[in-house]
Structure 1
């Protein structure tokens, strides 16, 4: 069966048609220009050019690829009493068949970046050379990782919060698929949630993806702001807000998102699943050097990128509370698994913890029958023990 376009042309049934016409769904309020500065004439020309590229009203056809997911068993009782994670734009409509939702990029978004060329990319001054080395560029971590074998993906459920964030800083919770055999050309695939006002223009908690194949120097970007991640699912917009959020102290309102990233054993691409059934899309294997084969580590972490000097930042990680407060109060990653060479999801035992400022942000690993291998994490940042 074929799909028919308005001009009478037809496309094969195995083609997804992506329309970049969805601002009505995803225009989420006004932003301000960084530092209140007006753009120069040359900046305006560059911004307009980039906006036309990102928001162009064109049809893009994406050939559907077969994807072989890992052997998955239904997870344990841990879904808690949470509702499905939704996005606010769902309240006003949905995308037509064979389209995907894309958050509209505005002039203000671009002008908040350090430069137009850096829009959608991580700040090179604050990216780590390796994900588990202390004292790099303002990053502070509370994380666990598995390392020492070849890995073909990972999966976990992470609670979703809205940590308070200082100006020009951000707070992240994510799963990281890494190949660091060559530190000068680190390959990563990243997905999770973050609060990042400089990128997004507000303090909302948003779903994000990122990738790089050269240690963030020139390749990769957030979400769909450059070539890389190929989205196929029409129900979730990367870069858009997610709700509901976990409520501190309420055991019945500990909402979480499940993310799985895995390598297709047939064509080598890296796929992302959101929840238990939404296959979001994929990163083509051709974009990577070392990840074209496998990853050397899987990491799950809370992360704060801070700019403040002198006193420690008050940017929160996770719920903003320490892991010692436990269930219902601290952030968590649960049912942590990796994918082995036989395309099987395996419980990730022997989790290696990594915390660089435990008086500011910390974690505690544990195991039980419902949550499998898990950890609580987070912290408030500045406090009497973290001045």
Structure 2
């Protein structure tokens, strides 16, 4: 069928809380982004080859007001099945035993952006996406596991981690659009992990402002995965085979255009990564797709680690970007947060106990996390994480 392009407006109309981040900081994070050089003719040809593999022939396509092309791809012809472990994989269209959220999910795209049955909606990868992904590798959107060891140069994070056996977690985070330079990134994520450090298996999901990868300062839904601590495996969204898309109206990389207002209306998204045979990604009450269990070496029996938090990437000699909204936490309307975070024990969603939660920061003078106790509905622990940064200061990492 011929490709169909449309230009359509895209307007989107208890109790664990992690107040993430704060004001931008003025010390320079060590250089993490390599020199940008023009690509060679050979590199250009290789990227054209990669794009022909990643972007499958669409049944129909849509163009958003943000310049993204969204393709409807035959569900069995998507890039996920180019992975050698997934050649004979049978698509699971929905989980069987996972809890459903109450209420309606807000629409993230116009109603007429919907793929026909048997196909799925996937954001088209561009040559610029590949260039930026390659340049991002030296810094990466990595799992912040290094503390208390020396953190990787070029980035900082403020998080809280939970060490206990689990089959995933869910959380609600408010959405922000921090200002970042073209070679910086700021994000808020949920991480699920297991395995030894050199072969760490990680699943990651949240929102990101990442011009290096997306060539824009929009806030976008993103995921990341790896089975060897980000050395050679895994990728962001659909840039490599692995994630199996099943949804016809929501795609990874989508622009989250409704943004929280400082001391005003807060815009939340609910994110979950839950195991039910496969590792499912859930946005609000919609299951977007999954990472097949067979991709992971150390996640067959679940995971042993969950983390929530913020993460920034910046080269040296630049003010590092804000996490969240860049302001001190004062109340729910003036802070970046995670709330209602729960652990999936393979039967129920449960609130983690406060003594099992550990704030973890690389630069606590500027990006800080803390735990505040309370009472949640049903008598469960109500846990608050707070992260903030001092006023604009000059500071070098020791």
Query: Shared fold (TM-score greater than 0.5)?
Result: yes
- CA drift of 1:37 comes to 5.7
Deviations 1:127-154 (A, max 9, x none): 467254452232311111110x311110
Q: CA, structure 1 residues 114+278, in 2 after alignment: closer, same or farther (shift >3 Å)?
A: closer
Give the match for residue 371 of structure 2. 365
What's the C-alpha RMSD, in Å, of the aligned pairs?
A: 3.2
- CA drift of 1:92 comes to 5.8
5 Å-filtered alignment, 1:151-230, equals 151-179=166-194, 181-230=195-244
Q: CA, structure 1 residues 300+25, in 2 after alignment: closer, same or farther (shift >3 Å)?
A: farther
SS in 1 for 2:117: coil
SS in 2 for 1:362: coil
Provide the C-alpha distance between the structure 2 equivalents of 1:239 and 1:26, rounded to a whole number of angstroms.
17
Is the Cα contact below 8 Å between 2:143 and 2:191 reproduced in 1? no
Q: Does 1:123 align with 2:138?
A: yes
5 Å-filtered alignment, 1:104-143, equals 104-114=124-134, 122-123=137-138, 127=142, 130=145, 132-133=147-148, 134-143=150-159
Normalised by the length of structure 1, the TM-score is 0.77
Provide the C-alpha distance between the structure 2 equivalents of 1:162 and 1:306, rounded to a whole number of angstroms.
16
Q: Does 1:331 align with 2:336?
A: yes
SS in 1 for 2:110: helix
Normalised by the length of structure 2, the TM-score is 0.75
Q: CA, structure 1 residues 67+91, in 2 after alignment: closer, same or farther (shift >3 Å)?
A: closer
Q: CA, structure 1 residues 130+314, in 2 after alignment: closer, same or farther (shift >3 Å)?
A: closer
Unaligned runs of 5+ in 2: 11-33, 59-73, 77-89
Q: Does 1:291 align with 2:330?
A: no
Deviations 1:69-112 (A, max 9, x none): 345685xxxx9xxx95543x426633223322211222222233
Give the match for residue 346 of structure 1. 350
Equivalent residue in structure 1 for 2:274, among 230, 255, 262: 262
Q: CA, structure 1 residues 35+242, in 2 after alignment: closer, same or farther (shift >3 Å)?
A: same
Give the match for residue 118 of structure 1. none
Q: CA, structure 1 residues 72+168, in 2 after alignment: closer, same or farther (shift >3 Å)?
A: same
Provide the C-alpha distance between the structure 2 equivalents of 1:23 and 1:365, rounded to a whole number of angstroms.
49
SS in 1 for 2:187: strand
Provide the C-alpha distance between the structure 2 equivalents of 1:332 and 1:296, rounded to a whole number of angstroms.
23
Unaligned runs of 5+ in 1: 1-5, 7-18, 29-33, 116-120
- CA drift of 1:66 comes to 5.6
Provide the C-alpha distance between the structure 1 equivalents of 2:386 and 2:175, rounded to a whole number of angstroms.
13
5 Å-filtered alignment, 1:72-111, equals 85-87=106-108, 89-90=109-110, 93-111=113-131
- CA drift of 1:249 comes to 1.2
Provide the C-alpha distance between the structure 2 equivalents of 1:301 and 1:356, rounded to a whole number of angstroms.
12
Deviations 1:155-183 (A, max 9, x none): 1100000011133121110100011x311
Q: CA, structure 1 residues 303+125, in 2 after alignment: closer, same or farther (shift >3 Å)?
A: closer
* Matched length: 338
With a CA cutoff of 8 Å and minimum separation of 6, indicate the structure with the bigger relative contact order.
2
Give the match for residue 57 of structure 1. 57
Provide the C-alpha distance between the structure 2 equivalents of 1:102 and 1:286, rounded to a whole number of angstroms.
22
Give the match for residue 69 of structure 1. 97
- CA drift of 1:52 comes to 1.1
Provide the C-alpha distance between the structure 2 equivalents of 1:129 and 1:336, rounded to a whole number of angstroms.
19
Q: CA, structure 1 residues 114+263, in 2 after alignment: closer, same or farther (shift >3 Å)?
A: closer
Provide the C-alpha distance between the structure 2 equivalents of 1:51 and 1:22, rounded to a whole number of angstroms.
19
SS in 1 for 2:299: helix
